[in-house]
Amino acid sequence: MLDSLRSIVQEVNSARDFASVLDIIVKRVRKTTDTGVCSIYLHDPVSDKYILAATEGLNPEAVGNIRLATGQGLVGLVAAKAEPINLDDAEAHPNFAYFPESGEERFRSFLGAPVIHHRKVLGVLVVQQAERRRFDESEEAFLVTVSAQLAGVIAHANATGQLTRQLSPELVLSGGERVFRGVPSVPGISIGHAVVITSPADLYAVPHRAASDIDHELALFHQALEQTKQDLRTVHADLSEKLNQEERALFDVYVSMLDDSSLGGEVTVLIRAGLSAQTAWSEVIIEHIRNFSSMEDAYLRERATDVRDLGRRVLGYLQQSQVENREYPNDSVLIGEELAAANLADISVEKIVAMVSAKGSRNSHLAILGRAMGIPTVMGAIDLPWRELDGNQVIVDGHLGLIIANPRPEVLRAYMAQIEEEKILSADLERLRDEPSVTADNHHITLWVNTGLRLDSLLSLDRGAEGVGLYRTEIPFFMQERFPSEDEQRKIYREQMEMFAPRPVTMRTLDIGGDKALPYFPIEEANPFLGWRGIRISLDHPEIFLVQLRAIMRASEGLENLRILLPMISNIPELESALALVNRVYHELTEEEGYTLTKPLVGAMIEVPAAAYQVRDIARRVDFLSVGSNDLTQYLLAVDRNNSRVADLYHTLHPALLHALKQIVEGASAENCPISVCGEMAGDPLSALLLVGLGYRVLSMSATNLLRVKAILRQVSIAQAEGLAQTCLTLSDNSQIRSYLESAFTDPEITRLYSWTKSSPY
């Protein structure tokens, strides 16, 4: 059955649409199990019923008409129990429900398996047979395996609205509201119109667009076909002496495929039906690729590659024929499968109100740029049907990671009101820029910023930052097509230190690996977050590390505001090795090359559990410590913080994290070692209060959050913060801690600083 399972998965993955997926499943499972019936019942969130969505063996007219509540009938019982049910005489079971329209009275044996995704029963997959018999273990295991494979497909269909269109088409209005979730990467809310950004000559990245001028689209299409035919004839002529007759004949086949009697004719029909040339061409080619890929004959399967290549050639010409100067609306929401910094080159930044990428993480280069520019950004929206959204009105909620397409009027009004509230709050916060960062009882809390771009730094200075707690030195490395030279690095670092002088600037040494791979230094690993990253790479490549250390120290000459931070420290030997290289560079520059330098303070990041447990040993060897709350949370909870599938398990107020933070600050204090927190936690107003209550007095955050944190700190005393922290350490659940912190404040001037997510309808 393994070969059958592979074949089913392959066909499902290449299916044109969700209806085709269901059809493939019931037909192939029925054939593989050699049963009389295979059916899929799917949960309809609108009616809260399990609806017969597809069948092979029952009356086709029953599809959409048989509806079962949870617990009703055998199908409802499978859903209620969330486990398989295997019966040799279905009619004898007390839960058996008879539906005359189904024609199932002929089938006695019943095997049903739940389709479960993220603990929710999305449907039930059923096989039935006329004769009485109990399905054997291998058959039951096969059905469970198919159900598990089907779960992700159904979940995606539910997220993208295909499920509702399949089960309740009468409820789907043209342009109806749809809500998608991703990873919140840059906070803020924007409302605008989607502008789909596609990759060149990518058949699967062509947005679904209607033709505004059918004759014009037909002309563009035929022009692209002629250009492609000419290319093929040219290649044919150039290679004629090097190919045999059969190989030369392939070029003639390619050319004939473009004729009106073949692919060209199919596309022309779709264009005349109202599709753009690019959309029509991609749909026809993808369908032919699917057909060839699913063929059993190996030779014919290989032809899918030929069709794909031909499709890309024509699409390339169609894209070239587009108007070069595309008109972008003033409220552009850039949306794409995998947006990158290069996609910003063709549009004025002033026109971009938000960015959404189906792939990527909150640490992607695009997200970093978004933070620097203050543009709400959502990454990792894996279920987003981005090709379909071009021109749609879209709300992007960067606080919650939501994308709301074609919002209902009441939702639109709610978010517009929230935007106005944030504008008023931002104006109020601006008055605090030059006010001291002190608690209500006049204790100073140092507020630094995390930065990596010039835009970031300018915003930080404008917000009254007291220094840089984390400068991401890897950013200049991402900007290059090779490792930057020592002088190139020195100039970038010098500019940063000059901008903030005499305020301290903490330069974190190169921190790549994990989800941050340089394009010219790829790192392929099965588990990158537990692999080769941070200081491990620097120590393994001293030729890179030493050049960076020289550039950093040379950049600090005459400024005396440099601090060097070592990332991803997990044991004492690697810390001592890194410190030895820092000392070596300092002595070479001062004693051998004559630079006049003050020896910089050197610190270590506490961001893995091993470092948290050895904090005193580390503190005795460095000048300061910095807690990387993002990675520390990730490693303590074993949750990839960039994975939207487990995003609801990533809790920065998890009790285990709070106890670890308490232990870390106590260990640093015992060694008289200064300590700060850099990461998203420091920039959350309630979490910042909690950190102060735990004993932290230096917080480093995104510049966009600095004034909000300052405002809340100025209204709470140290004693209050310590009391909050003490109570939170006794609680056992993240939600309890969050609820307690929120209930501790009733003053509207405080609640407005942290409750921006509460006014969301979702």
Tally Cβ neighbours within 10 Å of residue 392.
Answer: 17
Kindly name the residue from 365, 654, 673, 728 that is annotated as catalytic.
365
Rounded to whole angstroms, how far apart are CA atoms 232 and 225?
Answer: 11
d(CA 370, CA 363): 11
Q: 734-743 and 655-670 helices cross at what angle (nearest 10)? A: 80
Catalytic residue at 587?
A: no
Task: Decide: helix, strand or coil at residue 53.
Answer: strand
Long-range pairs for 459-464: beta carbons < 8 A, 24 or more residues apart: 459/372, 459/374, 459/703, 459/704, 460/703, 460/706, 461/499, 461/500, 462/433, 462/703, 463/433, 463/703, 463/706, 463/707, 464/432, 464/433, 464/434, 464/435, 464/706, 464/707, 464/710
The single-letter code of the amino acid at 74 is L
Query: Tokens 């100073």 label which residue?
Result: 444
Instruction: Let me know the angle formed at the C-alpha of 321 by 318 and 326, rounded to the nearest 5 degrees.
Output: 110
Distance CA 168, CA 467 (A): 57
* C-alpha–C-alpha distance, residues 285 and 308, integer Å: 7
- Tracing tokens 């598990």 back to the chain, one arrives at 148
CB neighbours of residue 157 within 10 Å: 23
List, in order, residues 6 or more apart from 151 with CB less than 8 Å away: 115, 116, 117, 122
Interatomic CA distance for residues 469 and 575, integer angstroms: 20
- 636-639: long-range contacts, CB 8 A cutoff, minimum separation 24: 636/609, 636/660
Beta bridge partners of 336: 197, 357
Q: Which residues contact 49 (CB under 8 A, 6 or more apart)?
A: 43, 67, 68, 69
Measured CA to CA, the distance from residue 573 to residue 567 in angstroms comes to: 14
Contact 645, 672 (CB under 8 A): no
Alpha-carbon distance of 36 to 104, in angstroms, equals: 10
Whether the CB-CB separation of 137 and 146 falls below 8 Å is answered with no
How far apart CA 700 and CA 472 sit, in angstroms, is 13
Q: Are 658 and 651 in contact (CB under 8 A)?
A: no
Please give the Cα distance from 706 to 711 (Å, whole number): 9
Examine the residue annotation and report whether 678 is marked as an active-site residue of this protein: yes
- The token pair at 368 is 């970093």
Largest CA distance in the chain: 95
- Is 745:712 a contact under the CB 8 Å cutoff? no
Among candidate residues 38, 673, 678, 728, the one labeled active-site is 678
Return the C-alpha torsion angle 455, 456, 459, 461, nearest 10.
Answer: -110
Tell me phi and psi for residue 653, to 5 degrees. -110, 25
Q: How far apart are CA 87 and CA 132, in angstroms?
A: 9
> Who's near 442: CB < 8 A, 6+ residues apart?
none
Element (H, E) at 185: strand 183-186
Among all residues, which ones are annotated catalytic?
365, 678
